[in-house]
Amino acid sequence: MAEKLTLKNTFKLYEEALGLIPGAILGIRRPYNFVEGEYPIFFETAKGGKVIDVDGNEYIDMLCAYGPIIIGHREEEIDNEVVKQITEKGFCMSLTQPVQNELAKKLRGLIPGAEKMVFVKMGSDATTSAIRVARSYTKRVKILRCGYHGWHDWCVEQKGGIPEKLYEDVIEFEYNNLDQVRHLMNQYGNDVAAIILTPIGHPGGHQVEMPKPGFLEGIREIADEHGSLLIYDEIRTGFRVDLGGAQKKFGVIPDLGAFGKAMANGYPIGVLTGKKEYMDELVENVFLSSTFFPNSLAQIAALKTIEIMERENVLEDISKKGSIFANKVRDIIEDSGIPCDYSGEPWMPYITFERDPKNLYKKLREEFYRQLIRRKVFLQPFHHGYICYRHTLEDLEYASDMINESLTATKKLL
């Protein structure tokens, strides 16, 4: 039986933070998003595919900072380029540095729908910019959306502090439900500026879904039929399922695409890409500006990240390792007899528990993730994980073995 971790320092810092930061920690990093009292709350350092908390516990990091870490933590080749930019040129200036053009040309050669682009800092910046461009171009108001698209007023799930009028024209639909989209477009189509969705479905707390045959193609046809723009939120899929995003992987090209996360291996960057006709709304009709959008450090990091990914065939390596891991875990789950599922292979591993009328699944989920963190595998109960390049086959073998042990320990609740 795995013993509870020593987390004295993490809880001490948490108590201190409660008096300094609302909720002590921002958003989905708060303790209630894990297993309270069992998971660390503060990390101290990270390298490759592992992280160490403030109490010295080392974990296989399979959350990868919620997706940005595609190669590994503290990649010297990337960090050295950033340091070089700091020491030799600087990075925060009144005017834009030439690296903007270099990165833009690189992305245009990788992403099918990227005729033009603008660089921002976060995924929420990119998706919100896309909505603004779509509304400006079409002169329409309504948006059909599917998936998590950030924290801004039009899309955030928690509505505190947001007037209803700021999101009343945003209508949700279910992933892989083409009939629902047709129905909504027949009802609202003449006023729908855009359909925005994550090309792979990854709702919080539920299985990761791949697009059913014809789903993305159907969405593309419906958007064209009604004169609406199609937007892909590729914040998680971009630079992970393919260097050209899910749009290249699945061969269905949107009008606009939002990217971020893995693009710069942890450095803060986002980008809105799209066809020239639509992106040129940003020339005069749509305002987009920020003091830090042109900051060159993340752009430098993105160029080096992409260089390494191409040179080392990073995504092919991740896909192979992810498939091996998925096959083993699926066998473990089947043998366990516990009502749970594995999804997201090969890029976004997620173990979810089948819902039941008595809510036993909640107890199973909590116990499983309690057992898993005690065995030093860092995954999240309510969010899928990730596999990075520096995860070795030995790391993933260890993780699958610990999943096996954790499921065995969870059986007592049945």
Quote the pLDDT of residue 316.
98
Question: According to the model, what pLDDT value does residue 312 have?
Answer: 98
**Are 8-73+314-413 and 76-311 equal in CATH topology?**
no
Beta strands in 62-218 (DSSP E): 116-120, 142-146, 170-172, 192-197
pLDDT for the residue numbered 189: 86
Say what the pLDDT of residue 1 is. Answer: 75
74 has a pLDDT exceeding 90: yes
Alpha helices in 210-294 (DSSP H): 215-226, 245-250, 276-279, 281-284
Question: What's the pLDDT at 256?
Answer: 98
Q: Cα separations (Å) of 232 from 70, 75, 202, 281, 383?
A: 20, 29, 13, 18, 20
pLDDT at 42: 98
Asked if residue 64 has pLDDT above 90, the reply is yes
Exposure string for 42-53, b = 16+ CB within 10 A, e = fewer = bbeebebbbbbb
Domain residue limits, the chain: 8-73+314-413, 76-311
CA distances in angstroms from 304 to 49, 87, 239, 264, 332, listed in the order given: 19, 17, 13, 8, 38
Give the model confidence (pLDDT) of 259-273 as tens digits. 999 999 999 999 999
pTM, entire model: 0.97
Answer whether residue 329 shows pLDDT above 90: yes
Please determine, for residue 153, whether its predicted confidence score (pLDDT) is greater than 90: yes
| Confidence band for 358, pLDDT divided at 50, 70 and 90 | very high
Q: pLDDT band at residue 185, thresholds of 50, 70 and 90?
A: very high
pLDDT band at 101 (very low <50, low <70, confident <90, very high): very high
Percent of the chain with pLDDT over 70: 100
Output the six-digit token pair for 340. Answer: 């749970």
What's the pLDDT band for 198 if we cut at 50, 70, 90?
very high
Could you report the per-residue pLDDT of 258-313, keeping only the tens digit for each? 999 999 999 999 999 999 999 999 999 999 999 999 999 999 999 999 999 999 99
76-311: in CATH 3.40.640.10: yes
Looking at residue 394, what is its pLDDT? 98
Looking at domain 8-73+314-413, what is its CATH homologous superfamily?
Aspartate Aminotransferase, domain 1 (3.90.1150.10)
Q: What average pLDDT does range 209-215 have in this prediction?
A: 98
Residue 204 confidence (pLDDT) above 90: no
User: Which pLDDT score is estimated for 102?
Assistant: 98
